[in-house]
């Protein structure tokens, strides 16, 4: 997981440095993140099945939020959003820390609820970006400029 985290951070840094960070490439990066964390969830279910069973509602919340976020972007733009917002980056680090704790120790009970709530907040921001903008969000640090633009023009 450490290698995956470091490669996830530095692939974007290197892509920007070499001038190849296109919106399409950023969307593929987001898709790779989703697939990777689905496999980590499966691994977590193998290592800590009781934790997963007792927290299924939190996992369902996170998966539902992520599904809604992806679905709204696909319906509106026919492509995946790739906001890479501050909340998404923070959630990625929390996800790494939380799932590492679960995989290594069985994890404290509060990890999955905290991750699910953070995921829902992050996805809500990306949904707002998707609904407020006329193009799919790519490398958009926060929704606030869109909100200001939307409501200051009135």
Buried b (16+ CB within 10 A) or exposed e, 34-60: eeebeebeeebeebbeebbeebeebbe
Is this model's pTM higher than 0.85 or not? yes
Better-scored residue on pLDDT, 124 or 101: 124
pLDDT tens column, 4-13: 888 888 887 8
CB 51 within 8 A of CB 109: yes
pLDDT for the residue 153: 63
Better-scored residue on pLDDT, 99 or 153: 99
Q: 154 pLDDT band (50/70/90 cuts)?
A: low
pLDDT tens column, 12-48: 788 888 988 888 888 888 888 889 888 888 988 898 8
How far, in Å, CA of 31 to CA of 26, rounded? 9
């Amino acid at each position: 997981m450490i290698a995956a985290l470091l490669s996830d951070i530095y692939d974007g840094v290197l892509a920007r440095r070499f001038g190849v960070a296109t919106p399409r490439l950023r969307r593929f990066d987001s898709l790779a993140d989703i697939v990777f964390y689905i496999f980590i969830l499966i691994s977590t279910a193998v290592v800590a099945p009781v934790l997963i069973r007792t927290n299924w509602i939190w996992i369902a919340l996170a998966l539902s939020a992520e599904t809604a976020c992806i679905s709204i972007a696909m319906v509106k733009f026919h492509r995946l959003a790739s906001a890479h917002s501050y909340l998404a980056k923070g959630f990625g680090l929390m996800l790494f820390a939380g799932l590492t704790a679960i995989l290594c120790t069985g994890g404290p009970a509060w990890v999955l609820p905290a991750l699910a709530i953070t995921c829902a907040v992050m996805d809500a921001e990306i949904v707002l970006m998707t609904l407020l903008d006329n193009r799919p969000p790519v490398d958009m640090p926060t929704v606030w400029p869109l909100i200001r633009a939307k409501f200051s023009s009135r």
